[in-house]
Structure 1
Amino acid sequence: MTISPEPESLPHDPWPVAHARFRPEGRFRLEAEDFRVTEILPFEAEGYGHHFLLRIRKVGVNTDRVAQDLARLAGCRARDVGYAGLKDRKAVAVQHFSVPAAGVEGDPGRWSGESWMVERVDRARKKLKRGALEGNAFRLRLHLSEEDAEVAAARFEELLAAGVPNYFGPQRFGREGGNLVGARQLFGGTARPNRGLRGIYLSAARSYLFNRVAATRVVDGTWDRLREGEYAVFPDVNSGFVVSDPEREAPRVASGDLHPSGPLPGLDGAGPKGEAAELEGRILAEETALVEGIRDQKVEAHRRALRVLPRDGLAEADSRGLWIAFRLPAGSFATSVVRELVRPITS
C-alpha cells in the first residue's frame, strides 16, 4: 500500500502516525511563547576574522526580516548576511547570523529591531552558511487537560526510546500545498519563479516524495527497521551503506546507531537495492513529473533517515498543560514529535 494525498490541495498534515493508539486532543502554538527553539551550531567562533557572528533572540518575526534589518545596520548587501536556516515567525527563536565586519560602525551587540535583539557577538573567519547546523533544541507547550497531560507525558517517554517518523513538516509545503503546486508549475513550464522561490519549490517537491515513501513505510510497519536491500544511514552524518543482512544490523538499528532511509530524489546518488529499491521505485513511478522535473533542475540526490530519535527529553506539567523539551538533528521537525503525542483541535 502506498500513501498518496491529493497533491494539488495537500491537507495540512496528511501523513499517518506511527504510534496510532489513543492520543489526547490538544492545542499547540496558540501564541509565540508556546514554541521555543534554539539553534545548536557545530563549531565555536574563532574569536577573530572578517565577520561578526551574532546570536539573536527573535519573537514573532521571520528570519528574512531580521536579515534585512541586519544588512541595513551593517551597511552590507542582504545577500552578504549569513544564517544557517529559517526559523518560524510564530516562535521564540534563538538564531545565529553573520555580517561582514568591514562596514560596521559601533557595537553590534547593541543592535535590535522590532521583536528581535542581539544576545551575543563573536568574531568569525567566514560567513555563516545555510545548513551549518548541528541541530535545534526545542521547548514546547501543549495545551491539555491535567489528565491528558499525564497521558501525553507518559507517551513522550516512550517516543524518546522508539523515535518518530522523520517527516518534513507542513510548513515545508506552504499553505494548502502551495509550494508543491508551484513546483508542478515550474516543471510544467507554466511558471518562472525567481531563484529564491525556485529553491523553495524544489525543496517542497523532494520533501513530498520523501514523505510519501516514509508514510508507506509507516503503514507497513518498516519505518524503524531494515528491509532487504535497505540503504541504512548513520545519525547526524550524510553517509551510509546498502544492508546485505538486515538481521545482523538490527541491533545497531535498535540502539540508534543506524536508521533506514528514504529518498530525496535527484541526479546520481547512492540508494537501496532489491526489495527496498522496488518499493521506492513503485512510489516514485506514480510521480514521474516531479522526479523528472527535479532531475532537470540538476539537483543531486541524497538520502534522509526515515526515523529520528529525540534527545535530552524532558516533560513538565503546569496549569495550562504540558511542556516538553528535546533536541533534534538539523533538518528534523518538532511537529513530527508533537503529532505523535496529541491530536490537534482544529476548531
Structure 2
Amino acid sequence: MTTESEFDLDGRAWGPVPGRGRIRVSPEDFRVREDLGHCPDGEGEHLWLWVEKRERNTVDVASDLARAAGVHPRQVSFAGLKDRNAVTEQYFSLHLPGSSDPDWRAWELEGVRIHRAERASRKIRRGRLKGNRFELRIRELDADRDALTERLERVRAGGVPNGFGQQRFGGNNLARARALFAGQLRRSPSKSKKGFYLSAARSLIFNQVLARRIAEGSWNRLLPGDVAMLDGTHSFFVADPDDTEQQRRCEAMDLHPTGPLVGLGEVPVTGEVLALETEVAEGEADLVEGLKRFRLEHQRRALRMRVLDLEWGFTGPDTLELRFGLGQGSYATSVLREILDLID
C-alpha cells in the first residue's frame, strides 16, 4: 500500500532535468487565467463576476461573495479550484432570480478584486471549462541554458505526462479517504470534503499507473489493449496499435493513451494494459473497493497532456519566465516537474 507522501510520479518522462529553480517566491510569480470557452450572454438571472484573487482559496472567496451579496452559498458557482499561493483570475456566478445587481463595486473583500460583472442566462458549472493560461516566473535558476532550451522545445513538441499535481492530495485528503472507507472518521464529512477525499483516492491510482507507463516508456504511445482519447475531449475508443493511422495520430498528439479513474462499470482496456492496471489496483484494494462502494463510475483520463503555446524567456542571469495553456483538469506543476527540480 502506498503512503500519502509517496503519491508523486518517480521518473521524468524526458530523462533527468537540466537544473533547478525556485517557484512562488511571491504570489505574482504564479499567475493563472481561466478560460471557460464561452462568455456570459448578457441577460438572465445569473450575475457573472470576473474576479482576481491573491493568496485566497477559491471556496473561501465564494463564501465571501455570498455574504457580500446576501445570498446562500449554494447560489454562488465557479468552474474550478485555483491555486491559493498565486494570483488568479476566474468567473464566479451569483444566482439572483428577480433581483437587481448588487453594488459589487462597493464590496471590500480581502485579496479580491472584481473587474467586471455581466448577466447570463445560466450559472457556471463545476468542471465546465476549456482550460487555463499560466504565466510563471522561476527564480534562482541554476541550469545550463542550452540544455534547458532543448528540454523546453521537447516539452512543446511532445507534451508531458498528465499526472495529478500535489494539490490534489493536500490537506491529508488521501489519509482521510482511507479513514472514510474504513469507517474511522469521527464525523461524516461535508459533500465537498468527501468529493476531495474520493478524488485523491482516484488520483493516486491513476498516478501509479502513469508512473508504470513512464518507467516502461509507453506513456505517450498506444499499447495492445489500450483505450485512446481524442485530444481536448473526454471521448475515447478502443485503440488498435497495429493501425498505422492511429499511431501517426498518437505521435501527432491528436490521440493519447489513457489511464483509469477507478469506479463501477466495465473496464474497457484489455491485454497487457488491463494486466498492468489490475496489478496496480490490487495494490490499493482498499481504495478501489471504497470508490466502488461510493458508487463512482469508471472513467478514463489521458496519460499525456499537450502544453499549448509554450513560450519562454530568460530575464536576468537567474530567472526563467514561462507562458503556456493547459486543458481542463491538467496541472502546471506537472509541466514544471519535466523541466526543472523545484526548490521548496
Mark yes or no: TM-score above 0.5: yes
Letter in 2 for 1:30: V
Alignment partners' CA distance in 1, 2:16 and 2:146? 15
Aligned: 1:277 with 2:274: yes
Aligned: 1:75 with 2:89: no
Give 1:179's aligned residue: 173
How far residue 155 of structure 1 moved from its aligned partner, in angstroms, is: 1.5
How far residue 269 of structure 1 moved from its aligned partner, in angstroms, is: 4.8
Q: Which runs of 5+ in 1 are unaligned?
A: 1-5
Alignment partners' CA distance in 2, 1:22 and 1:218? 15
Mapping of residues 307-326 of structure 1, within 5 Å = 307-319=304-316, 320-326=318-324
Alignment partners' CA distance in 2, 1:12 and 1:253? 27
How far residue 72 of structure 1 moved from its aligned partner, in angstroms, is: 1.2
Conserved 8 A contact 1:7-1:181: no
Deviates more, 1:112-121 or 1:131-140: 112-121
Give 1:329's aligned residue: 327
Name the SS of the counterpart of 1:316 in structure 2.
Answer: strand
How far residue 11 of structure 1 moved from its aligned partner, in angstroms, is: 4.1
Conserved 8 A contact 1:210-1:263: yes
Say how many residue pairs are matched. 339
Conserved 8 A contact 1:35-1:140: yes
Q: Which runs of 5+ in 2 are unaligned?
A: none
CA 1:314 to 1:270, structure 2 compared with 1: closer, same or farther past 3 Å? same
Deviates more, 1:115-124 or 1:160-169: 115-124
How far residue 272 of structure 1 moved from its aligned partner, in angstroms, is: 0.9
Give 1:267's aligned residue: 264
Conserved 8 A contact 2:64-2:109: yes
Name the SS of the counterpart of 2:176 in structure 1.
Answer: helix
How far residue 246 of structure 1 moved from its aligned partner, in angstroms, is: 3.9
Alignment partners' CA distance in 2, 1:113 and 1:336? 32
How far residue 196 of structure 1 moved from its aligned partner, in angstroms, is: 1.9
Give 2:203's aligned residue: 207
TM-score by length of 2: 0.93
Letter in 2 for 1:134: K
Q: Which residue of 148, 152, 156 maps to 1:160?
A: 156
Give 2:120's aligned residue: 124
Conserved 8 A contact 1:73-1:104: no
Name the SS of the counterpart of 1:114 in structure 2.
Answer: coil
Root mean square deviation of aligned Cα: 1.8
How far residue 85 of structure 1 moved from its aligned partner, in angstroms, is: 0.7
Letter in 2 for 1:89: R
Deviates more, 1:121-130 or 1:96-105: 96-105
Letter in 2 for 1:52: L
Letter in 1 for 2:111: S
TM-score by length of 1: 0.93
Name the SS of the counterpart of 1:259 in structure 2.
Answer: strand
Q: Which residue of 214, 217, 223 maps to 2:213?
A: 217
How far residue 35 of structure 1 moved from its aligned partner, in angstroms, is: 0.5
Conserved 8 A contact 1:47-1:124: yes
Alignment partners' CA distance in 2, 1:148 and 1:122? 48
Conserved 8 A contact 1:242-1:273: no
CA 1:244 to 1:105, structure 2 compared with 1: closer, same or farther past 3 Å? closer
Give 1:305's aligned residue: 302
How far residue 258 of structure 1 moved from its aligned partner, in angstroms, is: 0.3
Letter in 1 for 2:332: A
Q: Which runs of 4+ in 1 moved over 6 A?
A: none
Give 1:3's aligned residue: none
Letter in 2 for 1:88: D
Conserved 8 A contact 2:45-2:120: yes
Q: Which residue of 204, 224, 235 maps to 1:228?
A: 224
After superposition, what is the alpha-carbon deviation per residue over 1:90-137, rounded to whole angstroms, capped at 9, x for unaligned?
Answer: 001001100023445544355441111111211111121100110000
